[in-house]
A and B are shown apart, each in its own frame.
Chain A
Amino acid sequence: MIRESDDVIVKAVARLLMPFIVVYALYVVMHGHYSPGGGFQGGVILAASFVLLGVSHGLGKTRRRMSEKVAGVISSIGVLIYGGIGALCLILGGNYLHYGKLSKLLHVTPAEARSLGILGVEIGVALAVMAVMCTVFFAIFTVGESPEDDRSVE
Chain B
Amino acid sequence: MILPFNLILVLFVYICAIAAITIRDLLSAVVILGAYSFLMCLLWTEMAAIDVAFTEASVSAGIGTVLMIGAISKTKRRSKD
Contact = CB atoms under 8 A, between A and B. Distances in A.
Interface in B36-81: 50-51, 53-55, 58-59, 62-63, 66-67, 70-71, 73-74
Interface of B: 50-51, 53-55, 58-59, 62-63, 66-67, 70-71, 73-74
Interface of A: 28, 36-38, 40-41, 44-45, 47-48, 51, 55, 133, 136-137, 140-141, 143-144
A34 to B, nearest CB: 12
Most buried by B among A36, A47, A143: A36
Decide if the interface of chain B is mainly helix, strand, loop or mixed.
helix
B5 to A, nearest CB: 20
Nearest to B49: A36
A48 B58 contact: yes
Contacts of A38: 51
B25 to A, nearest CB: 20
Contact of B71 (A28, A36, A37, A140): A140
Contact of A37 (B51, B59, B62, B67): B51
A143 B58 contact: no
Contacts of A55: 66
Contacts of B62: 44-45, 48
A44 B66 contact: no
